[in-house]
Amino acid sequence: MQLLHKGKVRDVYTDRPGELILVASDRVSVYDVVLPTPVPDKGKVLTALSLWWFDQLADVVPNHVISADDVPDEWRGRAIRCRQVEIVPVECVARGYLAGSGWTSYQESGTVSGVALPDGLLEGSRLPEPVFTPTTKTPPELGHDEPMTFDEVVALAGAPTAAALRDLTLTVYRRAAEIMEQRGVLLVDTKLEFGLSADGELVLADEVLTPDSSRFWQASQWVPGRRQVSYDKQVVRDWAQDLGTWDKTPPGPAIPDEVVERTQAVYFEMYERITGRPWS
């Protein structure tokens, strides 16, 4: 078993040509900094929810999953055996609501990633249509991901691939948002990764529609014009932001037990709410 890459949250191994094993840890990363406190079972929730979504989206886009069973015993439940694909160096983000960096950008320029939005929107407003707002895929040691315009994606990946990335990202968002809204959850935004298979086919990869890669709000508590109650990793982000004593550079602060417990409870609740399955 060879370790290929140790990421902020996932570790990537290989033991066979053309295959990878993605292992989701319990580490937590905010503002591109891994915090010293894990959230128990977080990696298992990310893995189980991603597998559920890969199944739900199989008719929309192919994915890289080979097996969740053919993995080393010590990683069972938090690892997926996958096809090795060439990851497209673009973080494909779809937004249906104004939040986070999208809200910040809109306040400054009325746009997000070069996409002009209507005047008069509030923090938390639903957008008239979901928008594709990609970012760079920047290694943590080189800085933060930066917004990209669609033209910049074209320059990087070529026009056909850029159009396919945009269309697939928005299709996945719309399908997932519809499923989640039926369960009382709003899909605010989500980040997807795609890779190219050996025959040039775009494949959905990495994690999908998890509390780490997406922003979730409870529909019953949604009120535009204020900070929303988040049901995702935002619990930790808000705690870190409200500290006022951390400059968002390594080393990160330890997470208090109460925040760990709230974060874990949110991950379990979102898994159960979205899938309709009990977490055990």
pLDDT in tens, 137-176: 866 555 567 889 999 999 999 999 999 999 999 999 999 9
Mean pLDDT comparison of 116-120, 240-244, 246-250, highest-scoring range: 116-120
Residue 234 pLDDT: 82
What pLDDT score was predicted for residue 253?
Answer: 95
Give yes or no for a cis peptide into 40 (omega within 30° of 0): no
The mean pLDDT value of the chain amounts to: 93
The domains of the chain are located at 2-85+229-275, 86-221
pLDDT score recorded for residue 142: 57
Query: Can you give the pLDDT at residue 238?
Result: 87
Mean predicted confidence (pLDDT) in 179-194: 96
What is the average per-residue pLDDT within 58-66? 96
Q: Residue 76 above 90 pLDDT?
A: yes
Residue 134's pLDDT is what?
A: 95
- CA-CA distance, 223 to 129, in Å (whole number)? 18
- Tens digit of each residue's pLDDT (9 = 90 or more) over 1-16: 899 999 889 999 999 9
Q: Does domain 86-221 have CATH number 3.30.460.10?
A: no
Check residue 233 and give its pLDDT.
Answer: 84
Task: Give the pLDDT score at 227.
Answer: 85
Q: What is the reported pLDDT for 145?
A: 74
What is the CATH topology of the domain spanning 2-85+229-275?
A: Phosphorylase Kinase; domain 1 (3.30.200)
> Which 3-state string (H, E, C) describes 25-36?
CCCCEECCEECC
Q: What is the pLDDT of residue 143?
A: 58
Q: What is the pLDDT of residues 20-58, one digit of tens each?
A: 999 999 999 988 899 999 999 999 999 999 999 999 999
Given this chain, do its domains 2-85+229-275 and 86-221 carry the same CATH topology?
Answer: no
